[in-house]
Amino acid sequence: MTTISRARLSVLLPFALACTAALGGVGCEGAKPPPSVEDDEPRSGRSSISSKDRLVAFESESELFDTIRALKSAQRGALTSSEPTGAAEASPAPAAAKAEDGITNNQTAGVDEGGIVKLHGEHLVILRRGRLFTVKVGGGSLDPISSVDAFGPDVDPGGAWYDEMLVSDDTVAVIGYSYQRGGTEIGLFDIDDGGGLKYRATYHLRSNDYYSSRNYASRLIGDKLVFYSPLYINPSASPEASLPAVRRWKKGAKPSDFATILEPTKVYKPLDGGEGAQAFHTVTTCDLSSRELSCDATAVMGPPGRTFYVSADSVYVWMTPWSAPRKGAEKASPPRSLLYRLPLDGGDPAVMRVRGAPVDQFSFMQGDDDMLNVVVRSDGMGDAMWGPEVAAGDVALLRVSLDDLDKTASEAPKRAYTELPKPKGYAFQNRFIGDFLVYGGGTSWGYASEDAKDGRAFVLDTSDPSGGPVTLALPHGVDRIEAMGKDAVVVGTDGKDLHFSAIALGSRPRLGGRFTQPSAAQGELRSHGFFYKPAGDDRGVFGLPIRSSGSPGHSHLANGSASILFVRNDALSFSEVGKLGASVATVSDGCKASCVDWYGNARPIFIKDRVFALLGYEIVEGKLDGSSLAEQRRVSFAPTSR
């Protein structure tokens, strides 16, 4: 594994776009079977299910190691996906999250997601290009306070990516991945009331790269750090080195310093004898309330392709084999995908056999009615690396009761799937808002397509999906879907201009107003780039980074955004409030690690009645005056060259 794995984006983009354009991904590596709903119902009753069709934990270390050895022998050379394949070896339910952090566009209420900027008391905490920064905003201030490396003084940052951050009380947790050391890093820092930062410790988790172009690896629920990580079985590693483990990093650390963080009884056997490549899908929970990091984990062995979603009480992992089925064998074979539910309270996992694959975490919603909703596509590649950007094929909504996921590994019945219209466009966006699913097709990485001027948004009432979705015609593609209270906004390009279309969700979904920003494109593609600040039931302001429409589609990874556009929503009527722009000054920061902004570098920030734009190393504050926004001041927190 080289240290430039993520930098392969410039090579993979043309391939991914060409692959997607080729008849729904036919012939592309990683194509998956369709979520066929024509097969017969699964066998009635559950008494006939054999032991290999039940979810069973290992009973001893020797049994676990024997299974690992057998799988290693069977799958030598089987790891041929574009996912990283090297092993990680280098040679009670959590309480609800605190409400004080309200500046992240989280998918699930009470579940904070790892990001690049958080709020701690009177200070913004910012992670960028291998460093942590604090800027005081309390008391009307806008002053840089402190900065430290996002890695420890005895850690070589070469080949490491420090991607996301969470703040729990007075602890800042930085989540990164090191190709040099071969695993996930958790860096802990102390932050005081004055915004001062101090390095505490680094912990090293044995794993493969968690990176996803859309998903976030870490979540914070109360003071519990929760994250998912894959660990593929390496044919050349020992059984002991194939298990998830953690060590506290120190200079001269050795592989023998790793301590396994799960008992064999918390590792669940692969179904069907573990055919094909296998991985340990691991959910790790770490307690951030104590000075020393203590972690527990649960792992399920299954196919390596994955998409994961975190609800308030569970982590769901959808697993799909990398290899396509034999031609003509789809209907003769059982479903090849598996859906696991891993409770955050440490309870036993549950499983169901399913078809197809979701595109990203937004394809899931655990509803208040104890039903799980999942949008699947026949050629979904999962959310690893850039898989979400090249989904294709037929579309269906899977809707099952949480009680239907258990240890018997039964198949989701035909009636649980609702076939849905397939949208145009290379990329697929979907979002659950209340009881409604909104989805559509758009462009990949901001590149325009021939379908960009002929968009469709589909709106489905999941409480009664049998009637099918309402189709709403748009003069642009569907490149982003966000909630505005109980309603939605769809953002997309027509190949030249950037459009914002309001959708009223209710008994009769309909289009609302539209705002168009000429000659512009999105400056950030991740969900955290958007934020909506409500000011009533049907009023509010949202912000989104934008850039020139002439910039390359993936330029947000290196060039950032020219400005952040703020738009007012007044009963689904949109009007521009104003823009806060970046300066043209260049910064020589002497970057040592994480020198590509994989998670972006621009965010709209609302703190009480104040409005900010984070743009690279600048924070710009605007002042709302009636219907307009004017720049009030700006500050640079850029480091000096080192």
**DSSP secondary structure string, 45-102?**
SSTT--GGGS--B-SSHHHHHHHHHHHHHHTTT---SSS--S-S----PPPPPPTT--
Of the candidates 353, 349, 270, the residue with the CA atom closest to the CA atom of residue 315: 349
- Cα separation, 30 vs 390, whole angstroms: 10
Count of domains for the chain: 1
Rg value, the chain, Cα: 24
The per-residue pLDDT for 274 is: 62
Neighbour order of strands in the sheet with 364-366: 364-366, 371-377, 395-401, 417-420
- 609, part of any domain: no
The per-residue pLDDT for 393 is: 85
- 416, part of any domain: no
The per-residue pLDDT for 260 is: 84
Residues 6+ apart with CB under 8 A from 13: 386, 445, 553, 554
The per-residue pLDDT for 425 is: 73
- 640, part of any domain: no
Length of the chain: 642
Burial zone of 398 (CB within 10 Å; 0-12 exposed, 13-18 middle, 19+ buried):
buried
The per-residue pLDDT for 8 is: 34
- 328, part of any domain: yes
Tokens of 395: 């579309």
- 103, part of any domain: yes
The per-residue pLDDT for 182 is: 75
Q: Which residues of the chain carry a pLDDT beneath 50?
A: 1-51, 77-101, 325, 327-332, 552
- 235, part of any domain: yes
Structural domain containing residue 234: 32-42+49-357+404-410
The per-residue pLDDT for 549 is: 67
Of the candidates 209, 130, 119, the residue with the CA atom closest to the CA atom of residue 172: 119
Q: How many other CB atoms are there within 10 angstroms of residue 191's CB atom?
A: 23
- 241, part of any domain: yes
- The answer to whether the CB of 339 falls within 8 A of the CB of 346 is no
What is this structure's pTM?
Answer: 0.86
The per-residue pLDDT for 19 is: 39
Residues 6+ apart with CB under 8 A from 393: 24, 25, 32, 34, 356, 377, 378, 379, 380, 422
- 214, part of any domain: yes
Q: How many other CB atoms are there within 10 angstroms of residue 18's CB atom?
A: 11
